Each structure stands twice: as C-alpha cells, then as structure tokens.
C-alpha cells in the first residue's frame, strides 16, 4: 500500500471530526445544554492567559463546535471561529443563531484559511487538541501569525506533549513511547472524548491522524514566524481525564496525584 499524503490524512481527519462533532452534542466535555444555559466553557487557564477580551477582535483557530468561541463572544469579544469540519461549523453557526450571539464561523483547512478569510485580529487563540492535528507546525505558525495585528497576541493553551508518552498501568505512569521517535500517530476510533474516560461517546468508526510536536518546536515556529514570546507556562492539570489515574481537582480540571509532570502548557506571543 502506498503511504497516505498529509492532504489525505487531513481529509480523513475532516471526515472523522464531522462524525465527532455530531457525537459531541451528547458529550460531557462540551456539555452543550449547560453552555446554552449560560455556562462559560473557558476554563481558568484560558481565562488567565487571554485576560480581558472585551471589545477585542478575536480569531479562534480549530474552534470545533464553537462553544469556546461563543463563550468569548459572551465575554465581549468580536469573535470569528474557524475549523475544517463543516459539521462543527454548522453546529457553531446554529448555536450562535439560537442564542442570539454575534459571532462569525468560517469552514476551512487551516493551511487554506488565508484564501477565504482576510483581516487581522487583536487576539488569535487556539486550544486543547489543535496543534496535534497539523502536519506542518511552521506552516501553521505562518498562518496564525499572519492574522495577528501589530501589537496583538497569539495565545495557545494546549495538551502538554509529554503526557502523550505515558500509559497508565496498574495505577502508575509508565513511559510507553518516545516523543522524538513516534511523531506520527494513527488511531482507528469508535469513541470520542468526554470529560471522564468512562463517559466517552460512541462514534461511527473513523480514522484520526496526528503529529506530535515538542514545546520547543511550537515556540520556535512562532519565533520563526516573527512573533515575540511573552510568556510560557506549564501546569500540572488538564481539561479532561486522559489516563485512568487522573482525578478531578474540583476546579473543572484533572490532575495526576502528586503532580509529577506538566499536563498542559500555555504560550502567549506578540507581534
């Protein structure tokens, strides 16, 4: 079998995320009913890193079904959200209409976004499971930086890549792979993520392709794209339970007892 091109993998991910977007309407992670009742879907970490968004123009890259973008709109930002999944963008647009929130959503492959979306924003934001679906981190940084106004910021809040190297075996962390040697990821999936592992939602079987990036590669890609790194932060908590040994911390986050490794990182870069 000939190997798949990155474009074919991106296209498979688009199909997979179309299936997942529909399933996520029932996911405890997205908790759409609670969101509709006014709950702010941004966790403390994103809120701390983004700061005051009132009156700011803001672009969220890979916004999925739009609940973060729409929470930012509720907080007073003028929001544009974008994603490759047409189903996710349809759901986001529907939620904005249903809730009377002023936000615009654009469907595009990240790398083709400049063909369909012009403009510069005070803030560009991306978070929680976005960079790992992108085969070219430098290409991503060029696109993302191109949307930041001079003086504006790009904020990333992401799953820490170190977490992806461990499995949990008998309640303990075990190093299962190398960050430097297993860069490409392929999973056949018939479930999608939820807040807790046991609440994962069933989804028609689909393929998901990923690429692991180190924090160094992400940061250097931003520097190469002409941004100045203002702030880098690593924290021992995560937005959802990714390994069975992770426990809720009572603050909408999950931790590994003893906080042995960073589980999320944030980076703010300025143009």
**What does the alpha-carbon distance between residue 71 and residue 38 come to, in Å, rounded to a whole number?**
8
Q: Do 115 and 108 touch, CB atoms closer than 8 A?
A: yes
The backbone torsions φ and ψ at residue 39, rounded to the nearest 5 degrees and listed phi first, read -65, 135
Least Å distance, CB 172 to ligand SAM, is 27
Comparing CB distances to ligand SAM, the nearer of 130 and 153 is 130
Residue 35: is it exposed, middle or buried by C-beta count within 10 angstroms (0-12/13-18/19+)? Answer: buried
Asked whether position 88 contacts ligand SAM by CB under 6 A, the answer is: yes
CB 235 within 8 A of CB 264: yes
Return the H-helix or E-strand segment holding 58: strand 57-61
Smallest distance from ligand SAM to CB 110, Å: 3
**Per CB under 6 A, does 81 bind ligand SAM?**
no
φ/ψ of 242, rounded to 5, equals: -105, -25
Question: In whole angstroms, what separates CA 145 from the centre of its chain?
Answer: 17
Neighbours of 2 (CB within 10 A): 4
- Quick one: which segment of 79-87, 93-101, 181-189, 223-231 binds ligand SAM (CB under 6 A)? 79-87
128 part of the interface to ligand SAM, by CB under 6 A: yes
State which of residues 40, 109, 168, 207 lies at the interface with ligand SAM (CB under 6 A).
109
Which residue from 35, 105, 121, 133 is in contact with ligand SAM, where contact means CB under 6 A?
133
Site string for ligand SAM, 15-54 (x = CB under 6 A): --x-------------------------------------
Q: 17 or 213: whose CB is closer to ligand SAM? A: 17
C-alpha–C-alpha distance, residues 123 and 211, integer Å: 25
Closer by beta carbon to ligand SAM, 178 or else 205: 205
Binding site residues, ligand SAM, CB under 6 A: 10, 13, 17, 62-64, 68, 83-85, 88, 109-110, 127-130, 133-134
């Amino acid at each position: 079998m000939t190997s798949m091109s990155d474009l074919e993998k991106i296209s498979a991910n688009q199909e997979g995320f179309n299936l997942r977007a529909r399933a996520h309407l029932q996911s405890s992670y997205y908790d759409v009913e609670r969101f509709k009742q006014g709950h702010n879907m941004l966790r403390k970490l994103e809120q701390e890193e983004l700061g005051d968004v009132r009156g700011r123009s803001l672009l969220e890259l890979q916004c999925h079904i739009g609940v973060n973008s729409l929470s930012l709109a509720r907080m007073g930002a003028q929001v544009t959200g974008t994603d490759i999944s047409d189903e996710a963008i349809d759901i986001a647009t529907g939620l904005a209409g249903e809730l009377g929130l002023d936000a615009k959503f654009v469907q595009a492959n990240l790398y083709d976004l400049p063909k369909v979306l012009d403009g510069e924003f005070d803030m560009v934001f991306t978070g929680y499971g976005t960079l790992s679906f992108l085969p070219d981190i430098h290409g991503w940084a060029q696109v993302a930086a191109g949307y930041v106004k001079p003086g504006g910021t790009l904020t990333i809040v992401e799953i820490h890549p170190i977490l992806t190297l461990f499995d949990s075996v008998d309640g303990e962390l075990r190093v299962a792979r190398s960050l430097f040697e297993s860069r490409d990821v392929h999973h056949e999936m018939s479930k999608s993520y939820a807040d807790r592992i046991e609440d994962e939602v069933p989804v028609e079987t689909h393929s998901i392709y990923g690429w692991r990036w180190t924090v160094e590669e992400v940061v250097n890609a931003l520097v190469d794209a002409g941004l100045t790194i203002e702030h880098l932060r690593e924290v021992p908590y995560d937005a959802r339970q990714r390994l069975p040994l992770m426990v809720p911390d009572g603050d909408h986050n999950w931790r590994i007892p003893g906080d042995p490794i960073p589980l999320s990182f944030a980076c703010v870069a300025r143009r």
